[in-house]
Amino acid sequence: ERYHTAARLFRPGRRVVAFTGAGISVPSGIPDFRSASSGLWNTFDPMEVASLTAFRERPQAFFDWLEPLTGQIFQASPNPAHYALAQLQSSNRLETIITQNIDGLHQKAGASDVIELHGNMNHLVCLTCQKIEKVDDYLDRWLKEHILPVCPRCGAFLKPDIILYEEMLPVDAWEQAEFSCQQADVILVAGTSLEVMPASSLPLEGFQKGAQIVIMNLTPTFLDSVAEVVLPVDVAKGMPELCRQILA
Ligand code: OAD
Ligand code: ZN
């Protein structure tokens, strides 16, 4: 069946990259952006709350959007999909995990080589004076007392170190990710709609350079037509099963 067909592509010695998105953290209780009823962008307009303009001009709307998500992220634990990918990595059957997620759950599951295309929630940065602060020093006051994080040096609101709309992707992360996809023999795409550029151009670029594509996602993506195998299953069930068959 399809898991078997997919698993055979992950032979030892082949260069395998995983490309993940919000869907891989849905079983950990963090909502994704574009699922039909539960996606965050059903309730929020991304440009109104998650853009650089929004942060600068409507900080209250920005923090109203981000605060509950931040709470969910810091409460969440890795799920079987994160653990399966970490296991593939420690078994030398997966090199790099490229993620669009900001939740740090791949690393919490024990993954080592993780490229974060959209940043993470570990730090807060001041866009006025460039001060960098640890989020831990602000989290309780922010989430429990709803006191928004402000820069201790200049008083401006601090921006979590995540990539907003209208912002550039971090150059180092981008170049490492592009290199990995260009070298890859297999790219395992999991839990992403592939609707957001430029991130979603990476697996396409890999395919154009000869990588075979395996997709595990509940809903269709634009790369399904060129994929070797499409697994339209829940990652929390499908990823451990795929991993089991690869390591069998
Ligand atoms: P999306 O919400 O666009 O896509 C998540 C995909 O995961 C959807 O196609 C779902 O069908 C699928 N999915 C959900 N739960 C699943 C499950 N349990 N098993 C398998 N598949 C599941 O999220 P991303 O593609 O990550 O950017 O979104 C990309 C970017 O858009 C995000 O990084 C964020 C957002 O705006 C920024 O914030 C810059
Ligand atoms: Zn400052």
Residues of the chain with pLDDT under 70: none
Looking at residue 183, what is its pLDDT? 98
Determine if ligand 1 sits within 6 Å of the CB of residue 82. no
Strands (E), 104-247: 114-116, 119-126, 132-134, 158-162, 186-190, 212-216, 229-231
Instruction: State in Å, rounded, how far the first CA of the chain is from the last one.
Output: 15
Looking at residue 237, what is its pLDDT? 98
Using alpha carbons, list the distances in angstroms from residue 30 to 16, 70, 94, 203. 26, 9, 25, 24
Looking at residue 239, what is its pLDDT? 98
Tell me the catalytic residues: 118
Per-residue pLDDT tens digits for 149-183: 999 999 999 999 999 999 999 999 999 999 999 99
Looking at residue 197, what is its pLDDT? 95
Ligand nearest to the CA of residue 79, numbered in listed order: 1
Q: How far is the CA of 96 from the centre of ligand 1 (A)?
A: 19
Per-residue pLDDT tens digits for 59-78: 999 999 999 999 999 999 99
Q: How far is the CA of 147 from the centre of ligand 1 (A)?
A: 29
Looking at residue 152, what is its pLDDT? 98
H-type alpha helices, 91-170: 105-108, 136-145
Query: Which residue minimizes the CA distance to atom 25 of ligand 1?
Result: 192
Determine if ligand 1 sits within 6 Å of the CB of residue 46. yes
Query: Is the predicted ipTM greater than 0.90, yes or no?
Result: yes
